[in-house]
Structure 1
Amino acid sequence: MTKKKTYGLRALLNDIHLWLGLISGLIIFLVCLSGTILTFEKEIEGWFQKELVVKPKGNKQPLNKLVQLPTLKEKGTLTAVTLPTNGKQPYVFSIKEDPKQRRGTQYEVNPYTGEILKPEKSSAEGFMRFMFRLHRWLLLDTSIGRPIVGVATIVFLILSLTGIVLWFPKKIKWKYVKAGLKIKTDANWKRINHDLHNTLGFYACILILIMGLTGLCWSFEGYRDGLSRVLGTPVFNRGGAPKISAGNTNGKQLTLEEAVALANKELSYAGELTISLPNKKNPFYNFRKLADASFSTVAHDQLTLTTTGTILNKEIYADKPLNVKIAGAIKSLHTGTIYGTFSKILYFFACLVGTSLPITGTFIYINKLKKKRKRNRVPKEAMA
């Protein structure tokens, strides 16, 4: 008498993993595919666009003169300037062409001649915008597409967690665990397909979980607010820098050149410097500097100066508490830009694995169905 199989926790997790995967497979495939391409968005656009290189000629023009260029003034209100450390790279001027613009339009300027450099429009821009809309909203209206992608992301997180549990063999022995860490390339295609799903999914699961947990910040405002409460600091910090009193502005006003010199004295290392110029709402200079030697792309130091040169605020990234660092890195953690090219490569392969999982998982299900039907088929001899 055969022992009746019990429906345990592992069987339940297997069914959850199977049916959620089949139901959400197409959406997960599209989101991961677009995410894979967007990992190297800037690089792909750069391949199809002529790089703007500045030829050093004489001395750079003073910033005070460059910000007063009529060709820039006629475009709108200058809000920020970015100064690279590489002398062959142009300055970047952020200009609000319309008061409703949140960040403004970026113009690249030759610091030696004051010429506005106009890059050729990349033929990849339209394609990358298409991929972005597919990734964020499935090409639907944002009110419809955003929650659908959000729910699919939650499903993918559940699939990742159940997949990790199911990856471990029933009997935890090294020879069984070891088998799950490699792909048996000399086996038949069914076994190879199973290993591609099982093994690659295991290796990519940590990055997939990070991408999913951070990605929900764009899908659900409530989730973002909840994460902010858990971290104890705002995620994205839409309000910008902490509220700072403008201080005493009586006295000699700094020129832009003098303000930059003072900022570089306080943040005395080579690095890209971005200056947010004083305005009615924030009547002081805000500086953000990223060291050339920094491995992280989010490790900016910040400095706030009055227009007379008084230091109102100085924030060194290394001194920030961990929760503030995590909150400030949510976007970079999601896109893989946090450690530059190194992390982008890891995210690219993790997204590629995520794209393949719905495909390999579907084939595993089809193969199991065929095997079950074959097992349940009544032999002709028995019917005779």
Structure 2
Amino acid sequence: MKTEKNGYTLRKFILDIHLWLGVGSGLILFIVCLSGTLYTFRNEIVQAVEAQAYHVTPPATGQPLPAATLVSRLEQAYPASKVVGLGIPADAERAWTFSLTTREALARQLAEEKAEQQAGGKPGGEGHKRGGKEGRGGKGGKRGNQDSQTLLVNPYTAAVQGNTETGVSEFFRSVMGLHRWLLIEGGVGQLLVGSATLIFIVLQLTGLALWAPAKLKQWSKWKMWRPGFVIKTNASPKRLNHDLHNTLGFYALGLLTVMSLTGLCWSFEWYRDGLSSVLGAKVFGGRGEKPLPSAVPATTGQTLSADDYLALANRQLAYPGDVRLNLPKGPEGSASVQKTKTGFFALAGTDRLTLDQYSGAVLKADIFAAKPFNEQLTSLIKPLHTGEVAGTFSKILYFLACLIATSLPITGVIIWLNKRQKSNRRPARRAAAPEAIARPAAVGRPA
């Protein structure tokens, strides 16, 4: 008769940690991973659904109107507002975006900034502290800003085709709110998501330990590793579910770890500051940073146009890509141009130029390739989290990894339920065994 060993091993301890942390955080992780999966291709989905607003047909000449002409026509059509920025996609069949702010709100903002400078304040400090709630405006992620709007404009005709405040974009803002703070205001949701992400990192480490062969002496044998790489599609439903959890979890492990480690930057300020110290460069360091001031001439000077800024930037950054131009907001302000390469494998490193609005002189050049590695890494925190770090290629990989992560709580719970059913059947079998032994004696007993 074989005796069962009841020793509590290290592997059993790791299994218990993996099990109970997974069961406890499973619902939150499912919501976070599902919303992350939906959000991966948000831009492509919005542009496909709202094609009438985002798509344009280039004329035979293929040349858009001058940017200054487009700015002038928009400000004539919206006299209460001023164009403060425009986005020029590399795709010639995409509408340009123009950001407008009411002149009243702009004057108020400039007055507040001037008062802050006179008081010796540090602009941008609060923007860093609010890093965990970026893009958050109200319940469900609504912006609720009546002072600003972003219009979609046909650059060949100057026709306004729509704005970015559509039902689809509102849906994805709610998806982002669900992903970041579970649509729970007051910081509670952010804390829950951050805590679940920390647990998810532990689950990945314990899952890797459970995925590997149980004994060190088995590590030298390929046949002991092979089951962890293969999904047996012709196996029983229980085995198939186990393989889906085990094997797919292993394949997605690397990307899920990157997503988790970068995602914590939005959840906890202590983590963000600690990561900045470890990397030797500020995470979200440029957020809220105001452009350098222009050198105001002694006599009234002629400011450059939007086309002048774009021409200067294209000479400095001579490659195709998406361009974002932020126009000066006041007589002492400067213009800034951001350019990002596009393509299936394009690295999401952004180059930025700050230009004097009177002379066009480059006040600051923030070139991604010229940065040291640690600063490049911190500037890529967001695309590393969202999957945009290497163009469409990485977004596809991230989408698949997020889809796997969404399935892990489900397959994990099924494994747990199967084990509970199995353990519940064991006492019943043990209780039935004495009865089965006694029956022959009862049959053979004389009446």
**TM-score clears 0.5:** yes
Question: Corresponding residue for 1:68?
Answer: 72
Unaligned runs of 5+ in 2: 110-144, 439-447
Are residues 1:364 and 2:418 paired? no
- Match 1:218 to one of 266, 269, 276: 266
CA radius of gyration, larger in: 2
Q: Which stretch of the first structure deviates more once superposed, 336-345 or 163-172? A: 336-345
Secondary structure at 1:124's aligned position in 2? helix
Shift of 1:165: 1.1
Cα distance, 1:73–1:367 mapped onto 2, change above 3 Å = same
Q: List gaps (5 residues or longer) in structure 1.
A: none
Alignment counterpart, residue 337 of structure 2, candidates 287, 307, 312: 287
Q: Distance in 1 between matches of 2:331 and 2:303?
A: 18
Q: Distance in 2 between matches of 1:184 and 1:203?
A: 15
Deviations 1:240-291 (A, max 9, x none): 5586453474666433323322222222233332221123496222111223
Instruction: Describe the shift of the 1:66–1:175 C-alpha distance in structure 2 as closer, same or farther (beyond 3 A).
Output: same
Greater shift in the superposed pair: 154-163 or 126-135: 126-135
Which amino acid is the alignment partner of residue 383 of structure 2? S
Alpha-carbon distance in 2 for matches of 1:326, 1:49: 34
The residue type paired with residue 210 of structure 1 is V
Please tell me the root mean square deviation across aligned C-alpha atoms, in Å: 2.8
SS at match of 1:88: coil
- Aligned 1:231-270 pairs, distance under 5 A: 231-240=279-288, 244=292, 246-247=294-295, 249=297, 253-270=303-320
Alignment pair present for 1:187 and 2:235:
yes
Q: Percent identity?
A: 42
Comparing 188-197 and 135-144, the one that deviates more: 135-144
Contact map agreement 2:291 2:335 (CA 8 A) in 1: no
Letter of the 1:254 partner, please give it.
Answer: L
- Output the CA distance in 2 between the equivalents of 1:255 and 1:127: 36
Aligned match of 1:30: 31
The partner residue of 2:59 within 35, 56, 64 is 56
Judge conservation of contact 1:249–1:308 (CA < 8 Å) in 2.
no
* 1:149-171 deviation per Cα after TM superposition (whole angstroms, max 9, x unaligned): 11111111110111011110122
Q: How many residues align?
A: 384
Q: Which residue of 2 aligns with 1:273?
A: 323
Q: Match of 2:48?
A: 47
Q: Give the superposition deviation at 1:71.
A: 4.1
Match of 2:248 in 1: 200
Q: Check whether the contact 1:45–1:124 (CA below 8 A) recurs between aligned residues.
A: yes
1:90 maps to what in 2? 95
Q: Which deviates more, 267-276 or 192-201?
A: 267-276
Label 1:149 to 1:164 Cα distance change in 2 as closer, same or farther (>3 A). Answer: same
- 1:15 aligns with 16
Aligned to 1:79: 84
Could you tell me whether the CA contact under 8 Å between 2:64 and 2:156 is conserved in 1? yes
Aligned residue number for residue 368 of structure 2: 317
- Once the two structures are overlaid, the 10-residue window that deviates more, 152-161 or 313-322, is 313-322
Which residue identity lines up with residue 339 of structure 1 in the other structure? A
- Asked if the contact 1:94/1:103 (under 8 Å) is kept, the reply is no
Residue 196 of structure 2 is aligned to residue 152 of structure 1: yes
d(CA) in 1 for partners of 2:20, 2:228 = 22
Q: Which moved more, 1:257-266 or 1:275-284?
A: 275-284
SS state of the match for residue 89, structure 1? coil
Task: Evaluate the alpha carbon distance shift between residue 185 and residue 113 of structure 1 in structure 2; reply closer, same or farther with a 3 A threshold.
Answer: closer
Residues 168/120 of structure 1: CA separation in 2 closer, same or farther (3 Å cut): closer
Aligned partners of 2:258 and 2:168: how far apart in 1? 28
Q: What residue in structure 2 maps to residue 178 of structure 1? A: 226
Q: Spell out, residue by residue over 1:326-371, the C-alpha distance to the aligned partner (whole angstroms, 9 max, x if none).
A: 2111111111122222111111111111111111111111222222
- The residue that corresponds to 2:385 in the other structure is 334
| Equivalent position of 2:168 in the other structure | 124
Q: Is the 8 A contact 1:50 1:119 kept in 2?
A: no
CA drift of 1:293 comes to: 5.7
CA contact (8 A) 1:153 1:216 kept: yes
In 2: Cα distance, 1:154 partner to 1:103 partner: 38
